[in-house]
Amino acid sequence: NDNDSFKVFVNTFKILFWNVEGMTNIPIESSVLNAADILCLSETWVTSNKVNLPRSLHEFQVVSSSSAVKDKIRGRASGGLLLLNKCEGLNICVLHSKPWWLIFKVDTVLISVIIIFVYFKPNINLEEVLVSLEIKLKELMSKYISSMFIIGGDFNCRVGTATMFDVNIDSPNVSSYHSTCDNVLNTKGRVLTEFMESNSFILLNGRTHSDSPANFTCISALGQSVIDLVWCDSNHLNVLQDLKVSVIDSGSIHLPVLISLDIDVSPACHYLNVKPCARSTLVWKNNLKESFVIDLMYNKRISFDFSNSTIDYVFDNFLQAVFDSASIAGMFVSKHYKNYFRPKRCPWYDSECRTLKLDLLSLLKYCKKKHFNCPEKVDYTRIRALYKMLIKRKKAEYQKFIVDKIGEISDSRSFWDTVRQFKPSTIGSNVLPIELWERFYSQVFKPSVKDDSMYFGVCHPFLDNPITSDELIASLAKCKNCKAAGVDGVSYEFYKNLPQNWLLYLETLFNKILSTEVLLKSWSCFSMTMLYKKGDRSNPSNYRGIALANCALKIFTQVLLSRLLVWESDLSLIPECQSGFRPQRSCVDNIFVLSSAVHIHLRLPKRKIYAAFIDFRRAFDSVNHTLLWTKLYRLGFSAKLIRIIRSLYSNASFRVRVRNKYSSEIHLSEGVLQGEVLSPFLFSLFISDIEMYFRQNEAIGLSIDQHSDIILLMYADDLILLADSQVGLRKKINILNNFCVLNSLNVNPLKSKALIFRKGRARNRKEHFAYGEEELQLVDKFNYLGIEFSKSSLFAEATSCSVGKMNMAVGTVYSILCSTKCETWDSTVKLFNAIARSILLYGAVVWSLRYVNILERAQINFYKRILHLQKCTPDYIVRIETGITPILVHITKLIIGWLCKILSMGSERFPRICYNRLFSLDSKPGNIYKYNWVSKVKKIFLDLNCEHLWNEQSADNFRKRKKEVLNLLQKELREADYNKLAASQFSRVYSTLPLKSGTAQEYLNMSIPFSITKLIAQLRTCNNYCIKLTIKNITYVINSTKNCYICNMGVNEDLIHVFIECPAYHSIRENYLSHYGSPITYDNLFHQLLSSAVKEDLIKVFNYVKKVLQLRQSLCQ
């Protein structure tokens, strides 16, 4: 641990001014930008207040911005200012903002710095602007008398040598003599110079060590100039360290200007001072597999004396053999670590780009050295243009490759690997120093108490058997590829590709561990990476630790876990109430059981169900080790395995990793190990006696039928206590309190809640519950395992919550579509289904049947939005047009799968018990439909005339006829849509179009720009009353109920009139649509133009409509 790695960031406060000429020109990585503390970026061309920062600026925060202004109808907006800050503890106050400047104040330890960041457009009235600036400047100078003033940015003025010499300068870092590579002085430059001199400002360009003479800041095909300038008030020149015009790889013709000030920023701002280093890392390469396997097979280290060697020495020999063979095969990669996070290079940026970039930078440096007064300047301009064209081409080719790949992907893993490249990351990095983590964990983990307990027992006939090769191979098969390696650096791929002789070596090593009952010390050390969750970033409690254990340890413990799962299953040690970390169980199990148990009781009059949702404080991290070994021993756990696991825990420690530095070892005195496969199972065994403890203390459960009741439900450490009375719930809370005291567990009363399920709206305010001396908050709803449970238990809030989550996920879909430039319909549908619809239907098998219409509308709204269809467009038209499957079909598919799972469960399982009870209630006179999940599902099958299938209640038959049922349902829903269309008066256009049934209309799958696809969809689905057409974010509205005022023929301005009749558009019509016949008929219009499968036809329709709407808008104006 290097305690000097965190230092207060002093004496190097840096501000960078740069005209980026659009945010897209910011490079994906740049040490120049990361070196600055404040970035002043001009000409962002961003017209909105919301600015999306590129990955290279992920360490910066937006302080303020000034939007770009679009002066003309055509073309992009111009201008735009953006102020970014990297130091979180820095106090920045924006004093004034206008389109041509941002004025802000930075408070440092000894002085305040007022920075006026400007961008003057080439066509600006400079004199008027300077008059306004002078008024503001005088006001600020009178208010902040002792502050330092800096004015910098793109002035679009050439000052030449107008400020060649100034006798007033008395600073070691600023020269009195001004030299420059640009000797041109234009009119604006003269006006600017006079203004600065009259206000006692000194030009810094051409006066510092790194910029003497003043380097060109703007380099284009038309020439080069010094127009990006920085001025400082004459009273604070001694604060300036340096000014430098930096070389940066970007699409902007401007170069950034970086100034360094000799001042201390706020002491709250810390900087991670990690020296760059390089480390060789073992990386598996599948194309080198054969070379690695062959070399390892004949490695001499295979000949080894196991009997006379320690466990550590045996494993070290194995590691060295792997390292030797991997090195020969070329699987070592040198990785560089720097004091900032380096963003990944764009995948399309290949060796051709890098080579041309090196040539470009070499020429740039040479030309800069010669002040661009050399013949090579022409070559630099030419290569720069070639480089920009190459980047554009490579990017376009890669985007096309991604689009094609998404369309062709059939397996989910490949799909997510592709999508993940463009999906925004939500993982937060650790910003806290190592010392803070050491102090935090020293308080969390107290010094361990020596445990002298001895655990003896006879050899277990199953658990203590020697490990076989089949078990080792099965364990390796469960290990996933592309997972991070542990401290030793060897990932799963190396173990999975071991030759047979080294598999035998590993098997012998594992059996030696079994016989000696001692684990390697190196296996007990973990690497911990902290990820920010939410809340205050300076609070260590708001971070989640990700532990990396050595893969060899996880392979070994996976063998033990496989045995222990079989052993536990035979003895049924873990109670039915626990669903977490158990095979063939999921969150849906508990969601279904809780919902069913509540509904079984609420169907009765005046019935209430009392529930307490308990939150444990650091449940996994607070398990007492001595108590854990004792409980395992009492459960009949193998004494040999207890001794082996205790050997692991007695030496267990971890080191927090911050960048490429590690903390000192932190001993784990309590809790189960993170990142180790046995830990969840051990925790489940540790609390496996909780239900028995409740029953021993005479707790009565919530009855389901005459033979079964439910006291509590658990999913890992998420606990629910259930009761049918206030007294019952209070008693259970007290029992839980006693259990936690006995087992050294802690409940967090502030996060634990009580909820009363009931009919009606009223709530008795006298009802209250307390854990110990702290009262639990009584709430009307609670989010359990991702599903919102409310006091009514009817899931209205859960539906709203799921729709809201889906809408947020839709934003991610749009982001990916924009990033990939994906314009294929198939890829759009795939992305929506995988990202958004999957969130919408989470747990829907339990709660959705009452709210199918709401969920269907949520799905339809996405397609309306993506195609820019009018909100009033009927859902059935959207489904017919897009060919999407109704949401009820997807829900029914989930339900049939859940039915198959329930009917395959044993009679002791809670979901099966609840299902059987609901099934029996369905046939009784007092059954209430809204409280019976089975009744709702039964209705689906009866409506499809599948009563026989339902009555059979056979998992095999449901599984076999699943596809048949779904096809019947989809056919019925499709017929209902076409019946609605036939009876509809919404659009006389759409009802006459030839339509494909059950699939997307042909134009959606054509290879045409998506803007054309959207317009065709809008034309086809427009209504009889109001036509809204959106082309490239501009919306045109035509009222079809009013006469056309363009031609004044007294005819309604509907779609037919615009396409066929209106004489004002005759010339445009002849230009684009004449080959369809002259005059164009109604049949030609809608059966050929809007239903054409020819790409050229649709392009002509798009161009025709675009020209018509533009002409119409100009005539309206």
Residue 400 lies in a domain: no
Write down which residue in 246, 272, 298 finishes a domain.
272
Share of the chain above pLDDT 90, in %: 46
The least confident of 327-331, 498-502, 680-684 is: 327-331
**Each residue of 596-650: pLDDT tens digit?**
999 999 999 889 999 999 999 888 888 999 999 999 999 999 999 999 999 899 8
Torsion angle in degrees (nearest 10) through CA of 316, 321, 326, 329: 170
One domain for residues 765 and 802? no
Residue 300 lies in a domain: no
**Span 352-364, mean pLDDT?**
87
Domain match, 784 and 813 both: no
Residues 1054-1107 pLDDT 10s: 888 887 788 888 888 888 877 766 666 655 666 677 888 888 888 888 998 899
Q: Is the pLDDT of residue 718 over 90?
A: yes
Tally of domains in the chain: 4
Q: DSSP letter for 1008, please.
A: S
Residue 507 has pLDDT above 80, yes or no: yes
Crossing angle, helix 289-297 and helix 311-329, to 10 degrees? 130
Domain limits for position 941: 796-983
Residue 912 lies in a domain: yes
Which of the pair, 411 or 209, is modelled with greater confidence?
209
Q: How confident is the model at residue 998 (pLDDT cuts 50, 70, 90)?
A: confident
Residue 77 lies in a domain: yes
pLDDT band with cut points at 50, 70 and 90 for residue 864: very high
CA dihedral 952, 957, 963, 966 (to 10 degrees): 20
Same domain, 126 and 263: yes
Residue 539 sits at φ, ψ, to 5 deg, of: -100, 115
Q: Is residue 879 part of a domain?
A: yes
User: Smallest Cα–Cα separation from 1065: which of 1088, 1043, 1047, 1049?
Assistant: 1047
Q: What is the mean pLDDT of residues 193-200?
A: 79
Q: What is the CATH number of the domain that holds 762?
A: 3.30.70
Q: How far is Cα 689 from Cα 250, in angstroms, rounded to an integer?
A: 64
Does residue 731 sit in the same domain as residue 861? no
**Whether residue 787 is found in the same domain as residue 826:** no
Inform me whether the pLDDT recorded for 103 exceeds 70.
yes
- For 739-775, write each residue's pLDDT tens digit: 999 999 999 999 999 999 998 776 556 788 999 889 9
Whether residue 826 is found in the same domain as residue 766? no
Tell me whether residue 314 is in a domain.
no
pLDDT at 338: 45
CATH number where 159 lies: 3.60.10.10
Q: Are the C-beta atoms of 315 and 552 separated by less than 8 Å?
A: yes
pLDDT band at 433 (very low <50, low <70, confident <90, very high): confident
CA distance 19 to 1056: 50
Residue 226 shares a structural domain with residue 192: yes
Q: Which residue has the tokens 């254990």?
A: 549
Question: Is the confidence at residue 1033, as pLDDT, over 80?
Answer: no
Q: Do 847 and 831 sit in the same domain of this protein?
A: yes
Residue 509 lies in a domain: no
Which segment of 681-685, 978-982, 1056-1060 scores lowest on mean pLDDT?
A: 1056-1060
Q: Are residues 166 and 243 located together in one domain of the fold?
A: yes
pLDDT of residue 775: 93
Q: How far apart are CA 440 and CA 457, in angstroms?
A: 40
For residues 121 and 250, membership in a common domain is answered with yes
**Euclidean distance between CA atoms 135 and 144, whole angstroms:** 14
pLDDT digits (tens, 9 = 90+) for 556-584: 999 999 999 999 999 999 999 999 999 89
Residues 80 and 176 reside in one and the same domain = yes
Distances from the Cα of 526 to the Cαs of 529, 555, 621, 660, in angstroms?
10, 15, 15, 15
Question: Are 1004 and 882 in contact, with CB atoms under 8 Å apart?
Answer: yes
C-alpha–C-alpha distance, residues 479 and 493, integer Å:
9
Question: In terms of Cα–Cα distance, which of 741, 641, 628 is closest to 685?
Answer: 628
Q: Looking at the structure, do residues 27 and 154 belong to the same domain, yes or no? A: yes
pLDDT single digits (tens) 154-175: 999 999 877 655 545 666 678 8
Whether residue 284 is predicted with pLDDT greater than 80 in this model: the reply is yes
Contact 212, 179 (CB under 8 A): yes
Helices assigned H by DSSP within 984-1084: 1010-1021, 1055-1056, 1066-1073, 1082-1083
Average pLDDT estimate for 675-687: 92
- Give the model's pLDDT for residue 273: 37
- State mean pLDDT over 285-314: 89
Q: Is residue 393 part of a domain?
A: no
Give all strands of the β-sheet with 201-203 in edge-to-edge order. Answer: 91-98, 101-107, 112-119, 148-154, 228-233, 201-203
> Of the residues 769, 793, 817, which one is the last residue of a structural domain?
793
- Domain end point (choices 793, 808, 832): 793
Query: Is the pLDDT at 3 greater than 80, yes or no?
Result: no
